[in-house]
Structure formats: structure tokens, C-alpha cells
């Protein structure tokens, strides 16, 4: 099997695109799609074995160009600078950056230590800034390019993950600023804000979060979780020539979740309406797997108030 992309074959032939957090989840998925479309993908992450596994998958699937792997902690300025230089040395000018690496943990504000706050902000904001800055200064300032920053559904704040919400909101502002400052060099900067996506990242939450996670689909007007492939398609579009006049924007991929309003009777799409072509889940990623939190039948969980 191969990736069932909706985009034209060879769309990114000869293009060099960095994907941070490329060893799992959405990053793994978008790396597969870009490679299937001809890109030379540079996978970045902190764990070599995860990156090598994805690179092997890409080769097994018959990609024209093998993916390269680069171990890097994006929170470390010197490491980021050296890694971007290594990608340039191996592949040549960088055409695209998918700033996907991120992470957080669930805890109320009053329980977040300064160390915990800094760890999440450094991963979800500072690291993305460093990657974007180095790609710009080392390559894109001379050659142009496109950057897509991955944020989150934080439009109504993120109770229980305030550190992540603050960082993601900061990344949206950074996206808009970079779009204005770097436009003169022919660089486009946009963001993608995934909502509730059935990705392997959900398995990093503690077991007690399982009932809440399984109930979240009931709070989405389209009545389901999104897929990794649906998120990847948005990212790929923003990297593509079709988005040549889009910069400084944030594309939400969330099934209208932020539009839920107190006092308004929400009409959630049922299993019957979800089979309609307009909202049927797109599952183009042939290697996608169901998160463990959804893998086995469980009693119906009560939706959060």
C-alpha cells in the first residue's frame, strides 16, 4: 500500500522539507505524505529509534527520496543551529518547515511549577521560534520558502493545560509577525490548529484521562475525532503552490469544536450523517493506527460538563 494523498503526484519533487516531531503522530503522517509526493524529507526529533523507524517506513513504501534523520532537541539553540546547517549540507536549500514538535501534560495552573511551565513553553513556542529563525537566516532569506507552525485548539483557552494554551497562543502571534517580517524575502508563514485528532499522542495521557478523551467527540459538532491524514492534508496544502497568497493565517482543523456555545442546542452529526461524503473521515494514511485509548470497547463515558 501507499499513501492515498489527494494531491497531485510529484507535487513536491525536488523540494526539501523539515518535519520536527517526525517520529510519531501527526509529524509521522505528514512526513509520509510529503515523501509520497516527492519531497526530500528531513525528520527531526529527540529519539533516534523513532526517526529511523519512520525513515524505514518511507523507504519501504517506495519513496523516490529516502528521508534523512536528525536527532535534535529544538529547545537547545546551538543544537538547532547545527541541525539546520546539517540539513543544508546534506540536502541543499530548505523549501519548507513543518514546526510540529510539541507536548504538554494535564495539570491545573496552581500545580504547575516554574520548571514545568518553562519545559512546555520551551517545547511549544521557543523551540518553534528557533527552528523558524534558523531556517530563515540560513536558507529561506535567500531562497524563499514556506513555514507551517502546528498549534492547537486553544480558542476558548485550555483549562487543565494552561501552559500549553499560552504557548500555542504565542505561536499564533509569532506566525503572524513572521509572515509580515519575512514576506519581503518570499517566505510564507502559516499555522495549523488541530482540534481533537485521533493520534498516538493521546496515549501519552494518564489512564484516568481515558473516559474524558473518549467522551470528547460528543462535544464536536461533526460528532467525531479528526484523523491524522486530515490534519496532514491541511499542512500539505499550506506548503503547496496553491497557497501562494496565504500567509499569516491559522487553519483550524477541528470539526467546528470552538463554536460550541452555552445555551445553544448543539446538533451533533450522528453515525448516519457521518457517512455523507461531505464529512466522511479521510483516512489516506495507510499506516495509521488507532490510539490505544480507543482500541478496546469501554462503557459509554459521560461527556464533561
Q: Looking at the domain assignment, is residue 9 inside a domain?
A: no
Predicted confidence (pLDDT) per residue in 106-128, tens digit? 788 899 899 998 998 999 999 99
Supply φ then ψ for residue 189, to 5 degrees: -135, 120
Q: What is the pLDDT of residue 304?
A: 39
Spatial neighbors of 82 by CB under 8 A, at least 6 apart, are none
Instruction: Indicate whether 228 belongs to any domain.
Output: yes
Q: Is residue 4 situated within a structural domain?
A: no
- Assess contact for 201 and 25: CB atoms under 8 A: yes
Report the number of distinct structural domains present in the chain.
1
In the chain the beta strands, taken as DSSP E runs, fall at 16-20, 40-45, 68-71, 96-99, 145-150, 187-194, 250-253
Report d(CA 265, CA 229) in Å as an integer: 30
User: Across-strand partners of 41?
Assistant: 17
Confidence category of residue 305, pLDDT binned at 50, 70, 90: very low
Q: Grid coordinates representing 184?
A: 519581503
DSSP-derived 3-state class of residue 55: helix
In a domain, 205, yes or no: yes
Q: Let me know if 32 is exposed, middle or buried by CB neighbors in 10 A (0-12, 13-18, 19+).
A: buried
How many CA atoms lie within 13 Å of 61's alpha carbon, on the beta-carbon side? Answer: 26
pLDDT in tens, 19-47: 999 999 999 999 999 999 999 999 999 99
* Residue 8 domain flag: no
Cell numbers placing 169: 497562543
Question: How much is the pLDDT for 288?
Answer: 85
pLDDT digits (tens, 9 = 90+) for 256-266: 988 887 677 77
- Could you tell me the CATH number of the domain that includes residue 22? 3.40.50.720
Residue 6 counted as domain residue? no
Domain ranges, residue 251: 16-257+264-295
Expressed in angstroms, the distance from the first to the final Cα of the chain is 42
Amino acid at each position: 500500500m501507499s499513501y492515498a494523498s489527494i494531491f497531485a503526484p510529484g507535487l513536491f519533487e525536488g523540494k526539501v522539507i523539515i518535519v520536527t516531531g517526525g517520529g510519531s503522530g501527526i509529524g509521522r503522517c505528514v512526513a509520509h505524505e510529503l515523501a509520497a509526493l516527492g519531497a526530500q524529507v528531513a525528520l527531526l526529533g529527540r529519539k533516534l529509534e523513532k526517526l529511523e523507524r519512520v525513515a524505514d517506513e518511507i523507504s519501504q513504501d517506495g519513496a523516490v527520496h529516502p528521508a534523512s534523520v536528525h536527532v535534535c532537541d529544538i529547545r537547545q539553540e546551538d543544537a538547532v543551529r547545527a541541525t539546520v546547517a546539517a540539513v543544508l549540507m546534506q540536502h541543499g536549500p530548505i523549501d519548507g518547515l513543518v514546526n510540529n514538535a510539541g507536548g504538554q501534560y494535564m495539570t491545573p495552573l496552581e500545580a504547575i511549577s516554574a520548571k514545568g511551565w518553562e519545559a512546555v513553553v520551551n517545547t511549544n513556542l521557543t523551540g518553534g521560534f528557533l527552528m523558524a529563525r534558523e531556517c530563515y537566516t540560513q536558507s529561506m532569506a535567500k531562497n524563499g520558502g514556506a513555514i507551517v507552525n502546528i498549534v492547537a485548539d486553544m480558542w476558548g483557552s485550555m483549562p487543565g493545560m494552561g501552559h500549553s494554551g499560552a504557548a500555542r497562543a504565542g505561536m499564533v502571534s509569532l506566525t503572524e509577525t513572521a509572515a509580515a517580517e519575512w514576506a519581503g524575502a518570499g517566505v510564507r508563514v502559516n499555522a495549523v490548529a488541530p482540534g481533537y485528532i485521533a493520534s498516538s499522542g493521546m496515549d501519552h495521557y494518564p489512564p484516568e484521562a481515558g473516559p474524558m478523551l473518549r467522551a470528547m467527540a460528543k462535544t464536536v459538532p461533526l460528532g467525531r475525532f479528526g484523523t491524522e491524514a486530515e490534519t496532514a492534508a491541511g499542512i500539505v496544502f499550506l506548503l503547496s503552490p496553491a497557497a501562494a497568497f496565504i500567509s499569516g493565517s491559522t487553519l483550524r482543523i477541528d470539526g467546528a469544536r470552538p463554536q460550541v456555545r452555552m445555551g445553544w442546542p448543539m446538533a451533533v452529526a450522528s453515525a448516519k450523517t457521518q457517512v455523507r461524503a461531505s464529512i466522511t473521515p479521510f483516512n489516506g494514511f495507510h499506516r495509521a493506527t488507532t490510539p490505544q485509548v480507543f482500541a478496546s470497547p469501554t462503557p459509554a463515558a459521560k461527556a464533561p460538563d
